[in-house]
Structure 1
C-alpha cells in the first residue's frame, strides 16, 4: 500500500539536497522559519520536524534566538573514529581547534591525586588548556581540558617544565605516540565555568565531559585528561569491530 510522504520528510529531503548542492553554504543561516513555512506552505510545527531531523543528522545547528545554521561538512568523520588512539578534541570537534592558552603547576601528593593514580606519585603536574575555533579572537574559549601528569612520567620522558613549548608538544602530540592504551568515559556535565588569566570557558547549561585515561603498559595511568566540549561543537563516533578468532 503506497502512502503519501509526510510533509516534514519532503521538506527535509528538499533542504538536505539544497544544502549538499551549495545553495546554503556551511556556516550560513537558513532562511527564517517564517520564510520557509511560506515557501513550503506548511505550519511552523511541520517545519520544525524537518529541522529537527537535519539537526540530528549533523547537517544543521539550531541556535536559540539566532536561527538555523548549516554545519560545515569539510571533515570526514569516518576517519576520526574514537577507536583510534589520538587527541580526542581533534576527533570530536566539528571545527578545527587550536590550543590558545596553557597554564600548569606542580601539585604535591594529595588524596585527590592518590585517587587518580594508584601508584601514589609524590607530585603531579596539574594543567588547564583552553582551545578556540578558527576565527575566535576573544578570550571566551570553545573547549577546555584539565590535565594531570605524574611527576615521574615527566621525568621518564624528559619533559622540561621550564619549556612551555616542550610541555605543549608532550600533551598535544607525543603522549599519543608513547601511550599503549586510552580509556574514554563520556558523560554530560552541568553549567561548567572555568577562568584563568582572562580566558573563560562557559557554555551555559550542559556540555560533554570526556574523561581520558592514558596508559603505557602499567596499572597506573601516565596521564588523565578531562575534556569539556560544548554539545554543538562535537560529534562522538565510536567504531566497534567484531573480534576475529
Structure 2
C-alpha cells in the first residue's frame, strides 16, 4: 500500500490541529525545533510541510518571529474575474489605509504609443496600500489629463484619487486585459519601502473604452510573499 511522504503526513497533522482549534487563528506555532521533535522528523521535512501550509494560506511566517496561523480577516474576499480593481483580490493581508499622490509628466515616446497620441503630457498616479502602516502594495497608473477632466474631480485631494482608481474608472470600462508576471524591477528602486524585501509580483491592467481606446494602464506591485489571486473558472460544456 502506498504511504504518503513524511512531509505530507506532517502537513495533514498540522492542518488537522489548526482546523480543530488546537491552534487558534493568529496563534503562534511552536518553534521549529519543538515541532521537529514532536513529529519526530528532520528540520528539512518540517519546513517542507510548513511551506505547503503557507502556499495554502493556512499559516504565515514573520521573519525573526516564527510561524502564525493565518487570521481569517486578513484575507480579502473575491476573485479577479470582474472588471473592477483587482488589488484587494490579490493580496493575502488586510489593507487598512492608503497613501495617494500624483505627478505631471511631459510627453514620452512610450505613453504616446500607449494611448495612440502625439506629444501629449500625461499623469502618473500612485497609491500605496498599507497594513498597520507598512507598505503592502503599490499601484502605479498612467493616464492622460483629458481623461481625468471627464470625471470632473480635483486630484489634489487624495481621497478623489483613491475613489477614481478603485471605483470610478471602472464605470467607464468596456473591457480589460490583465497580465501577471514576476517583476524584474528591484524592490530597492521604489521610493517607499515594502513590507517584504523579496521579489514582487506585477499585475499590469489595461482598461479600454467601448471604442477600443485605452483609458488607463495600472500596474500593481505586490510582494510575492503576500500575493494570492483566485480566478474562478466554469465548464463550457454546461
Q: Same fold (TM over 0.5)?
A: yes
The verdict on how the C-alpha distance between 1:121 and 1:14 changes in structure 2, with shifts beyond 3 A counting, is: farther
The verdict on how the C-alpha distance between 1:30 and 1:202 changes in structure 2, with shifts beyond 3 A counting, is: closer
Contact 2:205–2:217 at 8 Å: present in 1 too?
A: yes
Pairing partner for 2:107 from 79, 94, 109: 109
SS of residue matched to 1:122: coil
TM-score (norm 2): 0.86
| Deviation (angstroms), 1:34 | 0.9
Contact 1:121–1:151 at 8 Å: present in 2 too?
A: no
| Deviation (angstroms), 1:128 | 1.6
Contact 2:201–2:224 at 8 Å: present in 1 too?
A: yes
> What do residues 10-31 of structure 1 show as CA deviations (whole Å, max 9, x unaligned)?
2211110111223223333211
Q: What residue in structure 1 maps to residue 93 of structure 2?
A: 95
Q: Say which is worse superposed, 199-208 or 166-175, in terms of deviation.
A: 199-208
The verdict on how the C-alpha distance between 1:202 and 1:94 changes in structure 2, with shifts beyond 3 A counting, is: closer
Q: Say which is worse superposed, 165-174 or 63-72, in terms of deviation.
A: 63-72
Contact 1:148–1:224 at 8 Å: present in 2 too?
A: yes
* 4+ aligned runs moved over 6 Å, structure 1: none
Q: How does 1:14-25 map to 2 (within 5 A)?
A: 14-25=13-24
Contact 2:198–2:224 at 8 Å: present in 1 too?
A: no
Q: What is the CA–CA distance in structure 2 between the aligned matches of 1:110 and 1:99, rounded to whole Å?
A: 32
Q: What residue in structure 1 maps to residue 72 of structure 2?
A: 73
2:86 equivalent to 1:85: no
> What do residues 138-178 of structure 1 show as CA deviations (whole Å, max 9, x unaligned)?
xx411111111111211222223344332321112111222
SS of residue matched to 1:115: helix
| Deviation (angstroms), 1:75 | 6.7
Aligned residues: 236
TM-score (norm 1): 0.84
Gaps of 5+ in 1: none
What root-mean-square deviation, in Å, do the aligned CA atoms of Structure 1 and Structure 2 show? Answer: 2.5
Contact 1:99–1:129 at 8 Å: present in 2 too?
A: no
2:229 equivalent to 1:236: yes
Q: What residue in structure 2 maps to residue 179 of structure 1?
A: 173
